[in-house]
Amino acid sequence: MNGIEHYFDLKPEVLALDRQALELCAPAFAKVEAIRDENQWKMLRAFTDNKVSATQLVGTTGYGYDDAGRDKLDRVFADLVGAEDALCRSHFLSGTHALTVALFGLLRTGDTLLAATGTPYDTLAGVIGIGDAGKGCGTLAEYGVKYDEVALTADYEPDYEEIARRAPGATVCHIQRSRGYTGRNAYGLETIKKVIDTAKAANPDIVVMVDNCYGEFTQTAEPTAVGADIIVGSFIKNAGGGIAPTGGYIAGKAELVEKCAHRLTCPGVGRELGCTLDVMREMFMGLYYAPGVTCEALKTAIYAQCLLELVGKNPVPHWHEDHNDIVTCFDAGTAEALVGFCQGIQAGSPVDSYVSPEPYAMPGYENEVVMAAGAFTLGSSIELSCDGPLRAPYTTYLQGGLNFAASRAGVMMAVQKAFFA
């Protein structure tokens, strides 16, 4: 049997670090595999309890009235995450689009949106209307929705005293589980629960919405289990298992999901419309395999973090810490190292491996971004990908990995390109 060095041109020093990392990571791998198993049992039970049938894997055309597969997927997902209702649709273009639909569905003129975990991810600035972002495009601000923000503490923790002070004046409390383009770790359910409890103690009527992108199936429950009223995410991240070709979800309290449905389509119509064409089989299958694929992505993250520590970097999180999303970030130190790491990931990707990514001005981002994404689904970050904005300290964000064996090779190539060139 041939080793990994038989297939890829890897330097001896990188191979030595690989052997060391695999040995160190074994206990952490076992931990995420146990999480995978429980989530997969829960997934199977949601499918069997809801009597998913072969006829529901076939889509519809036109208006999509009485689409049994679409409605069944909603029910399976709601039961899976412990929500009253869910809206799982291929019509969501991205995680940002699903979040936009939720925000416009829940907020009205005169309401206030409170960002409880610092400034939201870059692409939401134009949705909310922060500063001049999205000006003239119909932002929440232009519809008379006010915005308030609680900055994180110096150690990237939520400021609970300030959340309690500002929650009484807010209609919706926004929690971002993953880090966006910051250096913090993702928030686990314990922290999310504390933010929810703090906001609701100060304002029992506040609606708490969690941006759950990158966090699904990294623990054995979702934020709905700890009091979130609405959770939102993408099917080309964890929840789609690398199989769903598009889409996203909104899940939570039935009356709130219904409001969002009327914003996705049009008022008075709601969830009754929306044909599914030929994607239902991939949506069901992607969801079903999501716990296992998320585990592979977590193992990739743990391995990458260990390898990076061995070359003197300080990744967040560390490989032996809890993992609340599939993302790893570290400061590359220079633009060349950031670009080199992304180029190494691209070279270790199954699609477009021959392409060499370069920084460019990407819509919705303040700085130029370099992005490696040799994926079967364009933009899918459950597949091995890497990106970062070209601004000091040149923080690099690694995510995804459909299977650990291939992703391990990609990470080794990235480390070699960035630090052993």
Residue-wise pLDDT for 210-228, tens only, equals: 999 999 999 999 999 999 9
Mean pLDDT of the chain: 96
Residue spans per domain, the chain: 4-41+287-419, 59-278
- pLDDT over threshold 80, residue 418: yes
Q: Which of 142-146, 177-181, 357-361 has the highest mean pLDDT?
A: 142-146
- Residue of higher predicted confidence among 362 and 336: 336
Evaluate if residue 310 carries a pLDDT over 80: yes
Going by pLDDT thresholds of 50, 70 and 90, the confidence category of residue 266 is: very high
Instruction: For residue range 181-194, list pLDDT tens digits in order.
Output: 888 999 999 999 99
pLDDT of residue 33: 98
CA nearest neighbour of 128 among 176, 74, 68, 70: 176
Task: Tell me which DSSP letter residue 316 carries.
Answer: B
Confidence of residue 365 (pLDDT cuts 50, 70, 90): confident
Question: SS3 string of 350-411?
Answer: CCCCCCCCCCECCCCCCCCEEEECCCCCCCCCCCCEEEEECCCCCEEEEECCCCHHHHHHHH
Which residues, listed in sequence order, are joined to residue 369 by a DSSP beta bridge?
360, 389
Does residue 362 carry a pLDDT above 90? Answer: no
With b for 16 or more beta-carbon neighbours within 10 A and e for fewer, the 167-196 pattern comes to beebbbbbbbbbbbbbebbbbbbebbbbbb
CATH 1.10.238.10 fits 4-41+287-419, yes or no: no
364, pLDDT greater than 70? no
CATH architecture of 59-278: 3-Layer(aba) Sandwich (3.40)
Q: Reply yes or no on whether the pLDDT at 145 is more than 90.
A: yes
- What is the C-alpha to C-alpha distance for residues 24 and 420, in angstroms, rounded to an integer? 22
φ and ψ of 146, to 5 deg: -85, 155
